[in-house]
Structure 1
Amino acid sequence: MTRQTALQTLIGLAQDDVDTATQKLGRVQRERGEIEKQLKSLIDYRDEYHTRFTESARAGMAAGNVRNFQAFIDTLDTAIEQQRRLLDQATQRVEAAKPDWQRSKQKLGSYEVLQSRHDEVQARKDARTEQRDADEHAARALRMRNAH
């Protein structure tokens, strides 16, 4: 296996790692977004419910209805707190996935730099070989012309 082929293999493997890390990061970011959206919906619903209750209470309300309202608000508050904890956990998963993605990108970038340097060295070698061949061809042609 030549050095270039080995390097290309490493680049391919590193690209696979980047793809995997990107997919994982995207998945945990989407999950976090969904959890955040659900939290916002719960908070909005609680606020709307509280506003409706306040408007109804101004007109007068039975004590049982007040207790039912408070119990429902307590249930919503509990659900909101649970959702906030889920959001914190999802945020931690996103933050944990970022360094993995960054490391895989950096590794791929390093291999690509090595490949680029290798390509530059090879291009210079090829250019020197072409120049030498062209010089030899010109010298041969000159010798043949001088010989005639």
Structure 2
Amino acid sequence: MATKLPIDTLTELARSRADEAARRLAALREANLSASRKLELLQEYRLDYGAQLQSLLQAGLPAPQWRNYQDFLKALDAGIDQQRAAAAQSEARLDHGRTDWQHQRRRLNAFETLAERLQRQQAVVQNRREQRASDEHAARMLLDRAARA
């Protein structure tokens, strides 16, 4: 049975970190998509209510109702600005998460490459040992035959 090498432990740890970074990245993508959808929805509401106000103004809108619409549109614009900032923050977190995931993947790939190289080196050493043992066995057999003859 092969013993567990330190590089194996490091590779497992790197794999675990890369998997966790991938999970975080997926959550960040979902949050970013949600923030973008909310922003789009608010912007659509703004366009709809703006168009509705224009129609009402053309039909003759009383001043108190016009002020209510104006106040509502100002509040909607403030909400859009807040959501735009939230979407920008979400995008920044997504970029950071993507960078972290890429870093963790590169780190994992490096450890896997080192582990493969080490395994190849160990295989070469093992093959040499086996060849040496086989050669020694063949030499002993030859000596035994020569001694009997």
Identify whether the pair has TM-score above 0.5, normalized to the shorter chain: yes
Query: Per-residue deviation at 1:67?
Result: 1.4
Q: Which moved more, 1:40-49 or 1:91-100?
A: 91-100
Aligned counterpart, 2:72: 72
Q: Which moved more, 1:30-39 or 1:97-106?
A: 97-106
Alignment of 1:13-52 (within 5 A): 13-52=13-52
Q: Which moved more, 1:82-91 or 1:24-33?
A: 24-33
Alignment of 1:67-106 (within 5 A): 67-106=67-106
Query: Per-residue deviation at 1:84?
Result: 0.7
Query: Per-residue deviation at 1:143?
Result: 6.0
Q: Deviations over 1:37-59 (max 9, x none)?
A: 11110001111111222223222
| Conservation of the 8 A alpha-carbon contact between 1:39 and 1:80 | yes
CA distance in 1, matches of 2:17, 2:137: 49
| Conservation of the 8 A alpha-carbon contact between 1:17 and 1:104 | yes
Aligned counterpart, 1:5: 5
Contiguous gaps of at least 5 residues in structure 1: none
1:88 corresponds to which letter in structure 2? A
Q: Which moved more, 1:54-63 or 1:104-113?
A: 54-63
- Indicate yes or no: 2:116 matched with 1:116: yes
TM-score, normalization: structure 2? 0.82
Q: Which moved more, 1:64-73 or 1:35-44?
A: 64-73
Aligned counterpart, 1:59: 59
CA distance in 2, matches of 1:43, 1:3: 61
Q: Deviations over 1:56-77 (max 9, x none)?
A: 3222222222211111111100
| Conservation of the 8 A alpha-carbon contact between 1:4 and 1:115 | no
Equivalent pairs counted in the alignment come to 147
Query: Per-residue deviation at 1:140?
Result: 5.5
TM-score, normalization: structure 1? 0.83
What RMSD over aligned residues (CA atoms) do the two structures have, in Å? 2.4
CA distance in 1, matches of 2:92, 2:105: 20
CA distance in 1, matches of 2:24, 2:52: 42
